[in-house]
Structure 1
Amino acid sequence: MDTTNMTNHLAVIATNRFGMGARDHEIKEAQSDPQGWLGTHLISPALDNSLPDSWAVINQYAEFRAIKNAEKSGQKPGNQNAMMAPLRRTYFQFCSDTLTRSISSEHSFSWRLLDFFSNHFSVSAQGGLMAPLAPTLEREAIAPNLFGSFADLLVAVETHPAMLIYLDNEKSIGPDSRQANYLKKKAKKTRGMNENLAREILELHTMGVNGGYQLEDIQELAKAITGWSVARPEKEEGHGFLFRERAHQPGQRNVLGKTYPDTGASQGETILRDLAVHPATARYVSWKLARHIISDQPPADLVDKMQEQWLKTSGNLKEVITVLIQHPQSWQIEQQKLKTPREFLVSVCRATDGVSPRKKNREQQSRMLVNTLTAMGHKPFGAGSPAGYADISSAWDGSDALLTRIDWTNRWVESLKKRVDPLTLMDTTLGEQMASDSRTIIGRAESRQQGLSLLLLSPEFMRR
């Protein structure tokens, strides 16, 4: 392969494997220095700060609950669907904001990383409060810490209201806490200690299922984070994270062979910060990140180098990601990842210059895209599990899933008002990576519309 073709290939890899799909100018921009071009993307994604924050969402839901409780007391009933409408609209606003910004961004690699860590720290938009609250986790805890230390990211995530409520820690009470003893004396029932968050911290967020921790470590961590809760609007307790000292299990904790004195709220945080720099965490998260970007079976040497940098820099994510960018095994020509529905939809929109211009209302446009992801089985914050959506190609290559992509792509192409030449678009989005057979098939299409559909559904476009 000559030098010109190789630089074109590397630019395509930069924009499509690392980025969320090439826009019409990006391959040319990336061609001179693909790695350096990606380095400019390592900045926190910009989000719409005018949208409600988690505290506003919690307040909004508290008002809804107050009205419902009033109804149960015999007062005049209201329209529950109408009362829930603002909360559902907030969910769509959050999802639409991240989706449309990832489509238009000049730094799409940062949006891929935001998607990765949002799925890594998965919370599901299920139930009345979690629907609008789940998206605030990536906006308030993940995006601001995307390129800092993993320890800061981990602490921000685990103390965020969305995570605490999703994994039932906000009401976790230590068995020997002052609150538990009070309830025992009054012969009142108590929810007791909940181990959900502690288990997922170790199994999913840090060390991984084979990380070497024991059941006792889960239980000790669960005790350390008893009292980690969320302020209640009706109680005027402040806002966001709240440490309820009366619910905290007293005493020192022993996690992974290390003893942590009882320092109240900071006891759990100290454990998290140690977990963030543990070799098993460095290995597991590096492996997951390499698997997401490069291959379902990432090269062992690449993961080794990422882990080494993690431990050397105490989990500096920007430094670890830079190793991923600069490693030669990240740049193999073969496309080894099938795009997830979200990646596919975003890359189609980027390639065809944003959202369909025939839809005049921007909110309707973005809501349509969110609904499309739902139809494709990739609803935003809809994994339904703390493990998040599957991140391997076999999870997305079923016949029904591919038929849904084909149907949507054909309708999308029909909706485009602007005349798009498929051969020109092929060169600006895939360059030399397009196989000669695919070029021939697309060139022989009976119409521009058919040629464009064939391009967007080609193996080269569907993979990265």
Structure 2
Amino acid sequence: MSASAIALNRFGLGARPDEPPPADPQRWLLSQFDRYEALPAPWQARARTPALVEVWLAQQRAVRRAPPGERAGIREAYVRQGRDEYVSAVGARATSALQASAPFVERLVHFWSNHFAVSVDKLAVIGMAGSFEADAIRPHVLGRFEDMLLAVVQHPAMLLFLDQAQSVGPTSFFAMRGGGGGAEGQQNRRGLNENLAREILELHTMGVRSGYTQQDVTEFARALTGWTLPGDGFPGAAGTPTFRFVPALHEPGARTVLGRTYAEGGEQQARAILHDLVTSQATARHVASKLARHFVADEPPPALVQRLADTFARTGGDLPSVYRELVTAREAWQATAAKFKSPWDWGVSSLRALGRQELTPMQATTLMNQLGQPVWRPGSPAGYADIAATWAAPDALLRRVEVAQRVASQAGDAVDARALAPRVLPGTLSEATAGAIARAESASTATALLLVSPEFLRR
């Protein structure tokens, strides 16, 4: 694989026929930091998080006030509206990927959205998944890891997905009063919920088997009590249109996490713990391992992981510094295409190769459902796996063949796959693949063969 092909396909989202191979691949990648748009045109028409929170709160109020027999219908209407918002956001994501002038940074958006995964099979989240990526991930992808982490754990989608909005300190003011009355949806809140604390430790920062204990999870969960969505009914609650800290829900007292004690400090107590998690060596190594796995190999080179971790730690989690270390690493430019494309990668790169500039929201949603990687629906806080074994099964490959045939048929004679192949796979096309394309019985068959070729399936 040539350096140009690596830049376009391994770091980027796939070459387009109108896009010349970069003369200086490393410089081309790093220059994208200056032209990345945090909110590109396809996203600008989408509802932002504050408006979606208002929809959620209106539903909560309506359910609380309605007779019991009408509450199910109100919830169903909310889910229908959420599905419409979800489909529209999937369309915005796909079109942004097809049009991206900074495809390396756009890929990083997708990487971090999967690292901090929410899943719309939890229906309360379905209307907010797109705004989670737009408002918690996209603005911070070229910033500090700590800022992104804070934006993620305070976003309503994450608070709902991991049930943080239901967590109450066992001896908090609210619990000691019996939990009666209160704000929107508070009536059924009982007890401490550890989901967010556990996933921050296990998935978002330190990683599994990194030395934390169940007691650390519990203590961190107690520190996080009071972190919830906006609403009314709690005097003294402070926050923003999308997040608030409610002192009445917060478990009082000092907390000890990973051997360090944090004095009572309201919202600042959990913020202090988050800061120390970000600066831990375990977090640096966990983040470095995931980046190296995504961009280099399923089993990333230990020396590269260490250099990325060292850069993360030295810079306090400055993400562009870590990306620069990755882009300039010799291991990232090995000619072997070690990474098998996920369905999302393959779908986007196939359409980019054919010159597509946009998909309708329903087309984008249907495509990813058919390929087996529904957008923002991994079914787990761990997100989608990033290794070949997950995506290279025979039934998954058959789905790609079927999609390749369909999109190639739609393109018809407008695409000359013999001319297209060397443009989208510069310096990579094998003689066997070139020969198969040349011998194809029709233009659409030749295009389909290109899209399911071994070279195109990997990056």
Alignment TM-score, normalising by the size of structure 2: 0.92
CA distance in 1 between partners of 2:74 and 2:200 (Å):
39
CA distance in 1 between partners of 2:257 and 2:71 (Å):
53
Q: What letter corresponds to residue 2 of structure 2 in structure 1?
A: H
Q: Secondary structure at the match of 1:431?
A: coil
> Residues 261-289 of structure 1, C-alpha deviation per residue, up to 9 Å, x if partnerless?
11110110111011112100000111001
Q: Secondary structure at the match of 1:254?
A: strand
Residues 114 and 146 in structure 1, CA contact (< 8 A), matched pair in contact too: yes
CA distance in 2 between partners of 1:39 and 1:404 (Å):
35
CA distance in 2 between partners of 1:448 and 1:75 (Å):
57
Q: Secondary structure at the match of 1:259?
A: strand
Match of residue 36 from structure 1 = 27
Alignment TM-score, normalising by the size of structure 1: 0.91
Instruction: Give how far 1:451 is off.
Output: 0.9
Range that drifts further, 230-239 or 419-428: 230-239
Residues 41 and 107 in structure 1, CA contact (< 8 A), matched pair in contact too: yes
Instruction: Give how far 1:64 is off.
Output: 4.3
CA distance in 2 between partners of 1:184 and 1:366 (Å):
42
Match of residue 369 from structure 2 = 374
> Residues 154-191 of structure 1, C-alpha deviation per residue, up to 9 Å, x if partnerless?
111111111111111112111121111111899x9851
Match of residue 408 from structure 1 = 403
CA distance 1:233–1:384, change in 2 (3 Å): farther
> Residues 422-452 of structure 1, C-alpha deviation per residue, up to 9 Å, x if partnerless?
1111111002111111111111111211111
Match of residue 9 from structure 1 = 2
Q: Secondary structure at the match of 1:132?
A: coil
The question of 1:115 aligning with 2:110 is answered yes
Residues 428 and 455 in structure 2, CA contact (< 8 A), matched pair in contact too: yes
Match of residue 97 from structure 1 = 92
CA distance in 1 between partners of 2:180 and 2:229 (Å):
26
CA distance 1:69–1:253, change in 2 (3 Å): closer
Residue of 448, 451, 455 corresponding to 1:453: 448
The question of 1:345 aligning with 2:340 is answered no
Match of residue 271 from structure 2 = 269
The question of 1:226 aligning with 2:225 is answered yes
Instruction: Give how far 1:224 is off.
Output: 0.8
Q: What letter corresponds to residue 315 of structure 2 in structure 1?
A: T
Instruction: Give how far 1:63 is off.
Output: 3.7
For these two proteins, the number of residue pairs brought into alignment is 447
Match of residue 147 from structure 2 = 152
Q: Secondary structure at the match of 2:256?
A: strand
Determine what percentage of the aligned residue pairs are the same residue. 36
Match of residue 429 from structure 1 = 424
Residues 309 and 320 in structure 1, CA contact (< 8 A), matched pair in contact too: yes
Residues 44 and 110 in structure 1, CA contact (< 8 A), matched pair in contact too: no
Residue of 7, 15, 22 corresponding to 1:22: 15
> Residues 403-427 of structure 1, C-alpha deviation per residue, up to 9 Å, x if partnerless?
1111111011111266111111111
Residue of 290, 298, 304 corresponding to 2:292: 290
Match of residue 130 from structure 2 = 135
Match of residue 397 from structure 1 = 392
Match of residue 328 from structure 2 = 326
CA distance in 2 between partners of 1:416 and 1:70 (Å):
54
Residues 9 and 433 in structure 1, CA contact (< 8 A), matched pair in contact too: yes
CA distance in 2 between partners of 1:416 and 1:227 (Å):
54
The question of 1:57 aligning with 2:52 is answered yes
Residues 141 and 160 in structure 1, CA contact (< 8 A), matched pair in contact too: yes
CA distance in 2 between partners of 1:79 and 1:253 (Å):
40
Range that drifts further, 61-70 or 139-148: 61-70
Residues 231 and 240 in structure 1, CA contact (< 8 A), matched pair in contact too: yes
Q: What letter corresponds to residue 389 of structure 1 in structure 2?
A: Y
CA distance in 1 between partners of 2:456 and 2:188 (Å):
58
CA distance in 1 between partners of 2:27 and 2:179 (Å):
62
Instruction: Give how far 1:366 is off.
Output: 3.2
Residue of 37, 46, 64 corresponding to 2:39: 46
Match of residue 433 from structure 2 = 438
Residues 411 and 444 in structure 2, CA contact (< 8 A), matched pair in contact too: no
Instruction: Give how far 1:146 is off.
Output: 0.6
CA distance 1:77–1:330, change in 2 (3 Å): closer
CA distance in 1 between partners of 2:75 and 2:227 (Å):
31
CA distance in 2 between partners of 1:231 and 1:215 (Å):
29
Q: Secondary structure at the match of 1:41?
A: helix
> Residues 337-362 of structure 1, C-alpha deviation per residue, up to 9 Å, x if partnerless?
11111100100110001158xxxxx6
Give me the CA root mean square deviation: 2.4
CA distance in 2 between partners of 1:172 and 1:70 (Å):
23
Match of residue 215 from structure 2 = 216
